[in-house]
Amino acid sequence: MHSHYKTYIYVERLSEYIGSEVVLRGWVYDRTEKGKLQFIKLRDGTGIVQCVLFKPNVAEDVFERAKQLVQETSFGIRGTVRADERAPGGVEIDVNDLWIYHIPPEQYPITPKEHGIEFLMEHRHLWLRSQRQWAILRVRAAVVRAIREFFDANGFVLADSPILTPNACEGTSTLFETEYFDLGKAYLSQSGQLYAEASAMALGRVYTFGPTFRAERSKTRRHLTEFWMVEPEMAFFDLDDTMDLAEDLVEHIVQSVLRNCQRELAVLGRDTSKLERVRRPFYRMSYTEAVEYLQKRGVKLIRKNPDGTESQLDFPWGEDFGAPQEEAIMEQFDKPCIIHRYPAEVKAFYMKRDPADPRVVLAMDMLAPEGGGEIIGGSQREDDYDRLLERIRHENLPEDAFQWYLDLRKYGSVPHSGFGLGLERTVKWITGAEHIREVIPFPRMIYRIVP
């Protein structure tokens, strides 16, 4: 019988063991020596605690063995938990015994000092052990947990979409391609939405949650080629229902992180008062109102001319927003804002026209404050067979490949809507990370696939 793991004690729960002797195992985060005193910071994945060895109080061999502990040595200790104001975290361990699993034969490359980003990215597998990365990845896990809690508690069924797909969701230029036995090419999914629509017709409210892939040659601090997205899809929801749902979801995620991740947010130095404000209702603006705002504020559109020069235009109705426009719009807001009803020309073929204004579609994006950018994109879907077919032909998409998708409009078509929330963009905003590469354990970017 091996059920020992249930008795293991971790740093995060040490305050429950003050006065008791415990066994801890982990890695050396840092060590300093001061004559007859040694301080060893033990990192066990749940936190860091300082272990103290005072020469007169420990066995000679234990004190000598502890001197071998270079950074990232794996080791275990038996010691007494003591509350001490001088210790970071308020708790420390008086060591009674100490044993070593492995001493690094070479110097650990990442020191507690500064490093450049190229060096850190090449050592991503080790960088994960640093405090800041620890905090970010724990917030990421908390965000995922909050997302699942939210949907599971609100009548949604998890119905995952395939990752290997036979055709594009929105054009083929940005797809990763691979051979699929004798059946020709397969592509890595860039959205689970179309399949989620099929699932929603079977199960009512569904969500798909998994990795998606975009072979875009983007090189910015908010792009990855592999990223995670949660995509709810709801039968009988119109655009307003969907905007309400998106607000409820984001409010739940942020408030849940605030409830569960105070330690992590403190490590990150995040100003939590800004997150506290993320309560419904959020702000909302139509695309047309947003354009008027940009024109009034004098935010220009910079356009490249064929001769290579650039010209600045008053922002024209009909252009999609880029990062500069989104930032200008969000400057005025201290919580997220939904922009809805975009020009049909800049949006995807499956979005439903607004019956009240045929120039626009029933689409919406949610922009996060504090430079968080676009975290959600969604829409009410075109549910009319003929209009959808017309859009597919207009975009020159392969009609054959969309037969199954058109079937959804043939057999009991209903109004339905959904959206995609980018997990990494959301975590980047909540943690305040400068770059999206920090919020996924092993980022995949245009010029980096190692480690």
| Tokens standing for residue 423 | 């997990």
Binding piece for RNA, criterion CB under 7 A, among 5-13, 118-126, 142-150, 331-339: 118-126
Residues 234-293 that bind RNA (CB under 7 A): none
Q: Tell the residue number behind the tokens 């067979």, with chain if given.
A: 385
Q: Which is nearer to RNA, 152 or 320 (CB)?
A: 320
Query: Is position 90 an interface residue for RNA (rule: CB under 7 A)?
Result: no
Alpha carbon 427 to chain centroid, angstroms? 4
Under 8 Å between Cβ of 402 and 390 = no
- Rounded CA separation 99/119 (Å): 32
Query: Is position 323 an interface residue for RNA (rule: CB under 7 A)?
Result: yes
Q: Among residues 29, 71, 143, 364, which is the contact residue for RNA, using CB under 7 A?
A: 71
DSSP reduced 3-state for 410: coil
Query: Is position 116 an interface residue for RNA (rule: CB under 7 A)?
Result: yes
Residues 9-68 that bind RNA (CB under 7 A): 30, 32-37, 39, 50, 52, 54, 56
Q: Which is nearer to RNA, 78 or 385 (CB)?
A: 78
Of 244, 229, 248, 275, nearest to 376 by C-alpha is 229
Q: Which is nearer to RNA, 232 or 420 (CB)?
A: 420
| Tokens standing for residue 311 | 């010209």
Q: Which is nearer to RNA, 53 or 261 (CB)?
A: 53
| Tokens standing for residue 325 | 């426009």
Q: Among residues 97, 160, 216, 370, which is the contact residue for RNA, using CB under 7 A?
A: 216
Query: Is position 109 an interface residue for RNA (rule: CB under 7 A)?
Result: yes
Q: Among residues 42, 196, 224, 261, which is the contact residue for RNA, using CB under 7 A?
A: 224
Q: Which residues pair with 234 in a beta bridge?
A: 205, 417
For residue 346, what is the DSSP state? G
Q: In the complex, what is the shortest distance from the CB of residue 273 to RNA, in angstroms, rounded to a whole number?
A: 25
Q: Which is nearer to RNA, 67 or 259 (CB)?
A: 67
Of 102, 56, 53, nearest to 76 by C-alpha is 102
Residues 353-392 that bind RNA (CB under 7 A): 365, 373-377
- Rounded CA separation 207/374 (Å): 20
| Tokens standing for residue 171 | 């054009």
Query: Is position 70 an interface residue for RNA (rule: CB under 7 A)?
Result: yes
Under 8 Å between Cβ of 27 and 48 = no
Q: In the complex, what is the shortest distance from the CB of residue 285 to RNA, in angstroms, rounded to a whole number?
A: 17
Half-sphere exposure of 398 (CA within 13 A, CB side): 9
- Rounded CA separation 344/110 (Å): 50
Query: Is position 125 an interface residue for RNA (rule: CB under 7 A)?
Result: no
Query: Is position 218 an interface residue for RNA (rule: CB under 7 A)?
Result: yes
Q: In the complex, what is the shortest distance from the CB of residue 255 to RNA, in angstroms, rounded to a whole number?
A: 20
- Rounded CA separation 430/261 (Å): 11
Interface residues with RNA (CB under 7 A)? 30, 32-37, 39, 50, 52, 54, 56, 70-71, 84, 86-88, 92, 107, 109, 111-119, 121, 174, 191, 214, 216-225, 227, 229, 302, 320, 322-324, 326, 346, 365, 373-377, 420-422, 424-425, 435-436, 445-448
